[in-house]
Amino acid sequence: MTTPSDLEIAQAATFEDLETVGGRAGIDVSLLEPYGDHVAKIRLSALGRPEGGKRAKYVLVSAITPTPLGERKTTTTVGLGQAFSHLGKAATIAIRQPSLGPTFGIKGGAAGGGYSQVIPMERLNLHLTGDFHAVTSAHNMLAALLDSHLYHGNEAAIDPATIPWRRVLDVNDRFLRDIVIGLGGREDGITRQTGFDITSASEVMAVLALASSIGDLRARLGRIVVGYTREGLAVTAEAIGGAGAMAAILADALKPNLLQTLEHTPALIHGGPFGNIAHGNSSVIADLVGIEGTDVLLTEPGFGADMGAERFCNIKCRASGLTPDAAVLVVTVRALKSHSGAHRIVAGKPLPRDLFENRPDEVRLGGANLVKQIENLHRHGLRTVVAINAFPEDHPDEHRAIEEIAATYCCVGRVTTHHRDGGAGAVDLAEAVWEAAEKGSSFKFLYEPALGLEEKIERIATEIYGADGIDLSPVARRQLEIYEANGFSHLGVCIAKTHLSITSDPTLFGSPTGWRLPVREIRASVGAGFLYAICGEMRTMPGLGAHPAAHRIDITATGQITGLS
C-alpha cells in the first residue's frame, strides 16, 4: 500500500472550530480575529488576561546539529504536543512561520510531517496572514526613507559607506545579493552599492519576534541603526523619522496566529527570524499568550542546541522573562551515523545503502555530537529528555545505543513514532517530558549583559561550540570598538556560522576539538538587542537550485494546491 504524502494527509484532515481549539489554550473566542477558514489572529489583549490561571510547563524542543537528512524537529514538536492529549493534558505548540524562500527552494514546506502536522498545511506554508509581507514592507519603508534622507541633504550626516541597511524580499534570488541603486539622472537618487536579503534575515523580523507589546515594538524599531557618521556615531531609524510608520505597518503582524494540528492541538504560529543571522525563535508574544491556561507549552528554536537553543536561553528568555522547565533534544539514528563521518550524504541525492545497515558502533561514534548538545542544554541548567525519532530503517540495537548515551549523561531517552502514528506514537516521550518538567530545571544564562562583547563571543565559542578560542579579524576588532563607543556593550550575541557543524566549518562532523573560531565581521542589530559575529561565508539571500521545489508546486482547476511537502 502506498504511503500518502504529507500534503495528502493534510488535505484529508478534518478541522475543529477555532473557538474549541482556542479554548484548549485558554484563549476565549472574544480574543480571536478570524482570518478566512481555520486561521485566526489573537488579539494583543490576550496578554492582559486576569492572573490566577494555571501556568503551563514551558518546554524547549531542540536537536542535535542538523544534517542534510533532517531530524524532523518540527514534526517531533507537533507529535509531542498531540501526545499530551492522550495523557489527559492540554498542550499548545509555538513555532515559527515558514519562509516562502525555502518553501519554493529546497525545503518545500515546514508544517511538520506524516501524522504530526499543523493544518491547514497550504495556508501555513503560503502567505498565512501576511506577516512576512508586513515585515518586508516595514523593512523596505525604512530603506526608502533612508535613501530619501540622503537625497534631500543628509541632515543626520550619515556616511554612505557605513550603511548596513539593505532591502529584503521573501524569495530565494541570488541575483539580488549585490546591486547598485540610483542609476540614471539626478532625480533617480544617489548612486550607491547595496543589496537584498531574504525577509527572514531582516532585523525587523527579529524585532517582531522579540517584542513583548506594541510599545516595545515601537521602541525597538526606533533603535535600529541605519548608518554611522564619519565620527563613528550611530544614526537610528528614529533619527530619520522611520520608526513610527514601520510600527503602523506591523501592528497586525504583531498578533500571533492560531492554527491547529491534525489532532486539534492549538498551534501558535508567529515570527520567522533567520536561524543563522538572527535568533531563530518564534515570538515572545506567542509564548506569553500560550503559557497561560494550558498544561504544557512547547516552543521550538531553529537548528541545533548550539544555535537556536543557545539564543533561546540568552536572548529570547531575557526578552520574555520566561524560563523553561525542561528541554527535549531530538535525534535520529541516521543523523548520528552521518556525524560519525562514515557516510557521504548530499542533499537531493540517493542515500548510501550501507547507511541502513545495523551499525550501533557508528551511532556511538556520531554520538559525540549528541553528547555535546546535551552538555550545551545542561550548561543552561535544563533537565533534558532525548527524543529518538524513529525511522522504519532503524534497528533496535541502534536505538539502545542512543538510550545508553543519554543515560550516561543523566538523560532519559525515548523512542517515538509520531510521524507514522501521530500523538499515540509519542506517548512514552510525553510521559518522560512531563516527569522532567515536574521536577523542573535550574535555569541559568551563559553570560550576563555586563560581560564585554569580545568575552561574550569567546564564551559561546569555547563553552558551547568547543573551540579553543576566537580570532578576531582587524575589521571585526575595529567594529567592536565602534559598538562599545556607541554604548552597545550590554547587547547579546549571535554567532552567524554554518548550521551543519558545531564548528564554523560545515565539513566537520561530531564534536571536533583543537580549533578556533574565526570572526570575520561583526554587525549590530541594536533594535533586536544583539550583535552578530559573522564566522565564515554566510549568505543572507539564498539562491535557487536547478530543480527547486517551485517546479513541482502548482494548483488545480478546482483550487487545490499540489506539490508542497
Q: How confident is the model at residue 75 (pLDDT cuts 50, 70, 90)?
A: very high
The more confident residue out of 335 and 102 is 335
- Note the pLDDT of residue 107: 67
Region 327-345 average pLDDT: 94
The answer, yes or no, to whether residue 348 has pLDDT greater than 80, is no
Confidence of residue 53 (pLDDT cuts 50, 70, 90): low
Q: Of all residues in the chain, what percent carry a pLDDT higher than 70? A: 98
pLDDT at residue 276 in the model:
85
Question: Phi/psi at 309 (nearest 5 deg)?
Answer: -70, -40
Render pLDDT for 350-373 as a digit per residue (tens, 0 to 9): 888 899 999 999 999 999 999 999
Average pLDDT of the residues of the chain: 95
List Cβ neighbours of 51 (8 Å cut-off, separation of 6 or more): none
pLDDT tens digits, one per residue of 264-298? 999 999 999 998 889 999 999 999 999 998 999 99
Whether residue 256 contacts residue 268, with contact meaning beta carbons closer than 8 Å, is answered with: yes
Specify the pLDDT at position 144: 98
Q: Quick check: 21 pLDDT over 90?
A: yes
DSSP 449: T
pLDDT confidence of 431, banded at 50, 70, 90?
very high
pLDDT at 223 over 90: yes
Q: Which pLDDT value is given to residue 247?
A: 98
pLDDT, one tens digit per residue, over 192-209 is 999 999 999 999 999 999
Q: Among 437, 410, 414, 439, which residue's Cα sits nearest to residue 427? A: 414
Q: How confident is the model at residue 50 (pLDDT cuts 50, 70, 90)?
A: low
Distance (Å, whole) CA 260 – CA 399 = 31
Q: Which cell is 535 given?
A: 564566522
* DSSP string covering 135-154: HHHHHHHHHHHHHHHHHTT-
With b for 16 or more beta-carbon neighbours within 10 A and e for fewer, the 161-189 pattern comes to ebbebbbbbbbbeeebeeeebbeeeeeeb
User: Do the strands 40-42 and 257-261 form a parallel or antiparallel pair, or are they unpaired?
Assistant: antiparallel
> Does the pLDDT value for residue 250 go beyond 90?
yes
For residue 1, pLDDT over 60 is answered with no
> What pLDDT, on a 0 to 100 scale, did the predictor assign at position 49?
74
pLDDT-based confidence at residue 140 (cuts at 50, 70, 90): very high
Q: What is the pLDDT of residue 102?
A: 86
Q: For residue 51, what pLDDT is reported? A: 58
Sign of CA dihedral 318, 319, 324, 327: negative
Domains belonging to the chain, first-starting first, are: 6-16+23-129+258-439 (3.40.50.300), 131-250 (3.30.1510.10), 453-534 (3.10.410.10)
Which position has the higher pLDDT, 106 or 124?
124
At 470 the pLDDT is: 98
CB 457 within 8 A of CB 111: no
Q: Which residue has the cell 512576512?
A: 132
Quickly list DSSP for 93-134.
EEEPPPPHHHHHTTS---SEETTEEEESHHHHHTTTTSHHHH
If you ran DSSP here, which 8-state letter would residue 29 be given? G
pTM over 0.85: yes
List alpha helices for 30-114, DSSP H.
73-86, 100-104
Percent of the chain with pLDDT over 90: 88
- The DSSP string of 278-308 is S-----HHHHHHHTBSSSEEEE--SS-IIII
210 with 315: CB under 8 angstroms? Answer: yes
